[in-house]
A and B are shown apart, each in its own frame.
Chain A
């Protein structure tokens, strides 16, 4: 396992993958937390704004729409992450692990 980890560590593709995955994860986390804490801080500091009705002839307030919007955004962004990860990251990861394992096999045969 030791040699396998060392070999993966030396593979620049691994570090590129980790970086890309990290960037996507942190960006999406940032978006969700921004939306959520936006909602929470609006409750704390701008309740009057959330209390306004969406339109002249509806009882639905900005706050209710915002709450449903935050829920919808969260579900949509988990979908984005899973879609990207399944399409791109998994294949790259398998390539990196395969390459490292093949080399390990070659060394063993020597």
Chain B
């Protein structure tokens, strides 16, 4: 049995386990309630289109504020100081771009997945295959990252075995998705977002209280305690070369606009107006949350770093640097807050993996099964296929999580963002904004983007040197997003310009109708009763 970070703290464990069981109980009740309201594919994939902008904003924020971003961003600040903050700022700045350029058009063009929107005027079969591949690669990478994180967290918090923890998380997420579909997934996400926002607020207040209610005091105390002193408050701890900084920054902003489980949320609201409102609420919640991580991140340096209570025999942080924020909750608010934040973090992981599973299951059942392999399959059958897909994804992600137990979680999340930025975003952007895009061009760009992203990652320092033990990386940079994104755009544009086929001419001609629909909502799903 691995030792728990809260071992000996019976009070904290009791609080954590009680709260956690209460959360699981509540979500199972929601799933039961949602299952009785899930009849059609529209209920299953899009919660019947009945979610309000405010609810959807909270759910989007919930999808985005993963435990990886809460624990991971604080862990990065804990280890590297200022440079960890780029994740917080970059993660937020994707949202205005999604709102200004994509959200309303996406809602007007699509039905359940972003593949609906991009295959409207292009050839459905190859484009759906491309969009589904981009979605599944991003979803599976993100899913493994979250499950590995969950397994580690439960191992440390509750002293449960890693394999049991991963299977438990996998089982619950499949249950929510299979029976409750998007309705259950959305409400689980809303509850979790409210819990996480209040938890982060309480931790922040406790931290500021400890420095005599002074905002600057947190940073001053951090500078006193960090091994590099005042340098912790300055850039340069993690990112040394400019190319890495810009490439990472680009992956964060444009990856957000290409994450399939988040794009899917725009179809749960009735119209473009509510889609727009949901991004405003989402960005307000996410912005507030990331502003708190500034305090929480530096709070970990101020109150956790170097304190013997939180270090193991070798002087490293107990449970790894990812536990920095959890230890901070203990340092700032005692047993009760430690138990509360442990339960909140676990609830967060559970909610995020459910959203991801639903998105992956939709890519398989809606994009691939009902629009490529069995065109015109009846609704009930498609929902059944979605449930099988969710079970399949659950098994695959449990298996991969056991296999990749030792992988760096934050890096895998970043890979998902890189695929989002270099496959899904260029496709979505060009199909909406450039009349010239053709199926051939889209395929060329998508494949080139995916190959460049994966190739640069495999040949780069993280895999080629650290995993495969070669001496020098073939591709010198750790973050390939700017290269893969440029390759994707170049491939799409060149492929389209060189495409002189009759199909290409038809696809360009169809742009006008698509443009009017995207602008006005005339002819879009759910607007039929206009």
Contact = CB atoms under 8 A, between A and B. Distances in A.
Contacts of B24: none
A2 B83 CA distance: 53
B525 to A, nearest CB: 13
Contact of B280 (A32, A61, A78): A78
B273 A47 contact: no
Chain B residues touching A, majority SS: helix
A4 B522 contact: yes
Given A41-B246, A63-B82, A86-B273, A97 B530 contact: yes
A68 B291 contact: yes
Contacts of B280: 78-79, 81-82
Contacts of B97: 29, 32-33
A78 B279 contact: yes
B360 interface: no
Interface string B182-208: 000000000000000000000000000
Nearest to A58: B216
Nearest to B242: A44
A60 interface: yes
Given A5-B517, A60-B216, A51 B522 contact: no
B233 A71 contact: no
B196 to A, nearest CB: 17
B279 to A, nearest CB: 6
Interface in A72-87: 72, 74-75, 77-79, 81-82, 85-86
A16 B386 CA distance: 43
Nearest to A15: B519
A59 B245 CA distance: 24
A63 B294 contact: no
A81 B236 CA distance: 35
Interface in B77-130: 82-83, 85-86, 88-90, 92-93, 95-97, 99-101, 104
B283 A75 contact: yes
B520 interface: yes
A36 to B, nearest CB: 4
Interface in A88-110: 90, 93, 96-97, 100-101
B294 A93 contact: no
Contacts of B512: 5, 9
B287 interface: yes
Chain A residues touching B, majority SS: helix
B523 interface: yes
B230 A43 contact: no
A79 B222 CA distance: 34
B215 A47 contact: no
Nearest to B97: A29
B245 A96 contact: no
Contacts of A67: 85, 88-89, 294
A41 B90 CA distance: 13
A70 B277 CA distance: 21
Nearest to A46: B235
Contacts of B502: none
Contacts of B516: 5, 8-9, 14
B92 A63 contact: no
Interface in B229-265: 230-231, 233-236, 239, 241-242, 245-246, 249, 253
A44 B246 contact: yes
A78 B97 CA distance: 9
A64 B293 CA distance: 12
A68 B291 CA distance: 6
A36 B249 CA distance: 9
B521 A39 contact: no
A77 to B, nearest CB: 6
Contacts of A18: 515, 519
Interface in A1-31: 1-2, 4-5, 8-9, 14, 17-18, 21, 24-26, 28-29
A85 B275 CA distance: 12
A59 B219 contact: yes
Contact of B100 (A25, A59, A61): A25
Given A36-B93, A36-B249, A43-B239, A71 B276 contact: no
Contacts of B90: 36, 40
Nearest to A69: B89
A8 B530 CA distance: 15
Contacts of B469: none
Contacts of A50: 82, 234-235
Nearest to B284: A75
A18 B82 CA distance: 41
8 contacts: A14-B516, A32-B97, A41-B246, A43-B83, A51-B233, A59-B222, A78-B279, A85-B104
Closest 7 CB pairs of A and B: A51-B234, A44-B242, A59-B220, A47-B235, A40-B249, A44-B245, A25-B100
